[in-house]
A and B are shown apart, each in its own frame.
Chain A
Amino acid sequence: MDPNTTKNEFLKKVEDASGKPVIVTSDPNCSGHAVIKVAKADQPAHVLLYKPQHESVLPYLVAYQCSLALRVIQAAPETQYDLVNQPDMESEVLSLMENHAKGNSSIPPHVVSQLAIQFGHGLGWQLRSMPIAMRLDQGIHEEHPELREFQQKSVESQLQENMHALSPQAKQIAPEDIVRPNASMNAAFAKFWAEIMKSPIVFAPYVAAGYSPVASELLSINTATPESSDHDRELVVAWAKLLGLDRWFKTKNR
């Protein structure tokens, strides 16, 4: 099938399932390569934003974001959940950042609180999306060979971005308590793709940095948790516990 046809089919699936259209538009400021904002009851349309520089892989980005939206829209109401901050998350991350910034010329004092918010929210977003992302990606990879070229290109770009988190420069900016869970999740993502792409080398950086055991443990949680979206919450909770992120994040019924 033609990739663009597949892309349109994914959009139609979301529209059929929700009864609302999907507006696809580029936005240089959107978080990640692309994001879908699922319409709430009082909103007329879903909005799928993508960064212009990733337009060349748009069929894959649309397929992925629509798969994510369908997982939310089609989930049984009693299994729907949100990931929220624990009461002390923001103050604890800020305190960590303040300590890390002391005598650290890489962090100007006026950006400390801004970085604390960015890192805290970033970890939450990663925890909420990464365990599920692998499941969606595996589905797209297996069922839509026509999208593989786009998917691979997009994933490669993401893998490269993630590798920066291992660098000494990243460690200068972020404290260990932020770097470690972030790199651990990235390691699981890399190990997952190393197997799918039959390219173990993309996992080599994490092996060298000692993240191999935690990556294996995270992936084994995915293997042990049933595929259905009904178990997504359980999956995210298990990742949070293993990574020690349950002190900052919890799930609650929607």
Chain B
Amino acid sequence: MSQEFSFQLSFDDFELSLLGEPQPVVDSEEFRTKVSEFFVRQFIGFGGAARVVLNDQKREIKVVWTTNSDWGTPKEKALKLLNDGQIENALPILWTLFHRDPSDAGTLFRLGLAYNELGQFSKAAEILQRLIDVEPDHVHGLTGLGVAELAVGNLLIAEEWLRKALSIDSDDRWVLRNLSACLLKQNRVEDAIPIIQKCLTIAPDDIAMMVGLGEALDALGRTTEAEQQYRAAIRTGGPEHVVDVAKERLTEKSEATFRSGGPLRLDAVQYIQDALNRFKGMTDQEIQSLALELAMLGNQGLDINNSTKKYEINSLAGEFSGLNVISLMYAAFQQFAPGEDVGIDLSKEYEIAKSQS
């Protein structure tokens, strides 16, 4: 036999008399467990591989089997689905495996994690608690339990699980990451900082932690150190959304410093006026090309509060301060994409410059 076979059966169509006395109620946990056991018995001595999947949502039993030796086991299949991000497809397989062996630590862990991923935190906590009953020192199980409790706002319970995980493995970056998040949620910034710093010694390229540390330092008024963390995150690179947060924080800080000089910056008005005069001799396409070049330059980070630092622009002769570059960029974008966020609001300066040019 080499073909893959499969069949599906509604829970209602399963012959209850096969499950022994007393017959379980359809849909009950006992029903699922006994159905699973029934098929396990059917496949005892069978040379191939089989998967029995109970889908609670559809109330269906799906059985697939083959003699093909390189076909994965249900565990392997579930793992592959989880790795592929197909959590909802993995769930019925994991649930079936759980019913087959409710004390299998691997299944309990994956099932708990799957529920966490799906945002079903109370189910995740229930399953992961079972895992800890079976294997009290399961670091990632304890972490998952902490994450589930953290998600529903049980911050002290979450901290307890995460600290227990940390006592078993003090170098686990995921424990450190989640513990720091838990402490930050409790506004215990000073407690969180050494945890984040330790995480960064273990995973020096974890830019989410760099940003987290920056924010924690900011909260304590240690702005220069915070800025260093944001810059380090941008320099290191990584997930775009995290890099964007780092840039956003830097921009906020620059803008705050920039605006501390007064509500209206006349130097910026002047730069924009110069830009608008420059644009009169340029085509629309040339302005767009310039804007693009300036945006790329800005992407690397511009210091708008230090007039001694100069930047070069390929399409324009000379050297420009950070504020000049950003003013030029703002004015350029206003010509063809006025809604575009260039990272700083120079609308007041632009309106004045425009009325005077």
Q: Give A residues with C-beta under 8 Å from B.
A: 152-153, 156-157, 159-160, 163-164, 166-169, 171, 197, 199-202, 204-205, 207-210
Most buried by B among A153, A200, A208, A209: A208
Which of A152, A153, A157, A164 has a CB less than 8 Å from the CB of B7? A164
A-B contact sample (9 more), CB < 8 A, given A163-B6, A168-B58: A156-B2, A163-B7, A201-B43, A204-B43, A205-B63, A207-B15, A209-B9, A209-B14, A210-B17
Pair B7/A156 contact, Cβ less than 8 Å: no
Closest Cβ of chain B to A169, distance in Å, is 8
Pair A207/B7 contact, Cβ less than 8 Å: no
* B86 touches A (CB below 8 Å): no
In the complex, A167→B9 CA distance in Å?
5
* B42 touches A (CB below 8 Å): yes
In the complex, A232→B118 CA distance in Å?
59
Chain B, range 180-201, C-beta contacts under 8 Å to A: none
Pair A163/B5 contact, Cβ less than 8 Å: yes
Chain B 14-29 near chain A by CB (<8 Å), digits 1 or 0:
1101100000000000
With a cutoff of 8 Å between Cβ atoms, the chain A residues found around residue B17 in the complex are 210
* Contact status of A159 and B5, CB under 8 A, knowing A168-B10, A201-B46, A208-B15: yes
Closest Cβ of chain A to B251, distance in Å, is 53
Chain B, range 39-92, C-beta contacts under 8 Å to A: 39, 42-43, 46, 58, 60-61, 63, 65
Which of B9, B10, B46, B60 has a CB less than 8 Å from the CB of A205? B9
Q: Give B residues with C-beta under 8 Å from A.
A: 1-3, 5-10, 13-15, 17-18, 38-39, 42-43, 46, 58, 60-61, 63, 65
In the complex, A160→B65 CA distance in Å?
11
Pair A168/B60 contact, Cβ less than 8 Å: yes
Pair B3/A204 contact, Cβ less than 8 Å: no
* Contact status of A202 and B5, CB under 8 A, knowing A168-B60, A171-B10, A208-B39: yes
Pair A201/B65 contact, Cβ less than 8 Å: yes
Pair B6/A160 contact, Cβ less than 8 Å: yes
Closest Cβ of chain B to A232, distance in Å, is 30
Which of B1, B14, B58, B65 has a CB less than 8 Å from the CB of A152? B1
In the complex, A157→B5 CA distance in Å?
9
Considering the complex of A and B, which 5 residue pairs feature the smallest CB-CB distances, nearest first? A210-B15, A163-B7, A168-B10, A167-B8, A205-B7
Pair B42/A204 contact, Cβ less than 8 Å: yes
* Contact status of A156 and B3, CB under 8 A, knowing A201-B46, A208-B15: yes
29 contacts between A and B (CB under 8 A): A156-B1, A156-B2, A156-B3, A156-B5, A157-B3, A160-B3, A160-B6, A163-B5, A163-B7, A166-B13, A167-B7, A168-B13, A168-B58, A200-B42, A201-B43, A202-B1, A202-B5, A205-B7, A207-B15, A207-B18, A208-B18, A208-B38, A208-B39, A209-B9, A209-B13, A209-B14, A209-B15, A210-B17, A210-B18
Closest Cβ of chain B to A182, distance in Å, is 14
With both beta carbons as reference points, the residue of chain A lying nearest to B16 in the complex is identified as: A210
With a cutoff of 8 Å between Cβ atoms, the chain B residues found around residue A208 in the complex are 9, 14-15, 18, 38-39, 42, 61
Closest Cβ of chain A to B18, distance in Å, is 7
Closest Cβ of chain B to A11, distance in Å, is 28
* Contact status of A204 and B6, CB under 8 A, knowing A168-B60, A197-B1: no
With both beta carbons as reference points, the residue of chain A lying nearest to B59 in the complex is identified as: A168
Pair B8/A166 contact, Cβ less than 8 Å: yes
With a cutoff of 8 Å between Cβ atoms, the chain B residues found around residue A153 in the complex are 3
With both beta carbons as reference points, the residue of chain A lying nearest to B13 in the complex is identified as: A209
In the complex, A205→B39 CA distance in Å?
9
In the complex, A202→B2 CA distance in Å?
12
Closest Cβ of chain B to A79, distance in Å, is 37
With a cutoff of 8 Å between Cβ atoms, the chain B residues found around residue A168 in the complex are 8-10, 13, 58, 60
With a cutoff of 8 Å between Cβ atoms, the chain A residues found around residue B8 in the complex are 166-169
Pair B42/A201 contact, Cβ less than 8 Å: yes
Most buried by A among B2, B15, B39, B65: B15
With a cutoff of 8 Å between Cβ atoms, the chain A residues found around residue B38 in the complex are 208
With a cutoff of 8 Å between Cβ atoms, the chain A residues found around residue B15 in the complex are 207-210
With a cutoff of 8 Å between Cβ atoms, the chain A residues found around residue B65 in the complex are 201
With a cutoff of 8 Å between Cβ atoms, the chain B residues found around residue A157 in the complex are 3
With a cutoff of 8 Å between Cβ atoms, the chain A residues found around residue B42 in the complex are 200-201, 204, 207-208
With both beta carbons as reference points, the residue of chain A lying nearest to B15 in the complex is identified as: A210
Closest Cβ of chain B to A207, distance in Å, is 7
With a cutoff of 8 Å between Cβ atoms, the chain B residues found around residue A200 in the complex are 42
With a cutoff of 8 Å between Cβ atoms, the chain B residues found around residue A197 in the complex are 1
With both beta carbons as reference points, the residue of chain A lying nearest to B5 in the complex is identified as: A160
In the complex, A21→B17 CA distance in Å?
54
In the complex, A68→B10 CA distance in Å?
37
Which of B1, B2, B9, B39 has a CB less than 8 Å from the CB of A166? B9
In the complex, A197→B38 CA distance in Å?
22
With both beta carbons as reference points, the residue of chain B lying nearest to A167 in the complex is identified as: B8
Closest Cβ of chain B to A157, distance in Å, is 7
Closest Cβ of chain A to B292, distance in Å, is 53
Pair A204/B63 contact, Cβ less than 8 Å: yes
Closest Cβ of chain B to A200, distance in Å, is 8
In the complex, A159→B65 CA distance in Å?
13
In the complex, A157→B1 CA distance in Å?
11
With a cutoff of 8 Å between Cβ atoms, the chain A residues found around residue B58 in the complex are 168
With both beta carbons as reference points, the residue of chain B lying nearest to A168 in the complex is identified as: B10
With both beta carbons as reference points, the residue of chain B lying nearest to A179 in the complex is identified as: B13
With both beta carbons as reference points, the residue of chain B lying nearest to A170 in the complex is identified as: B8
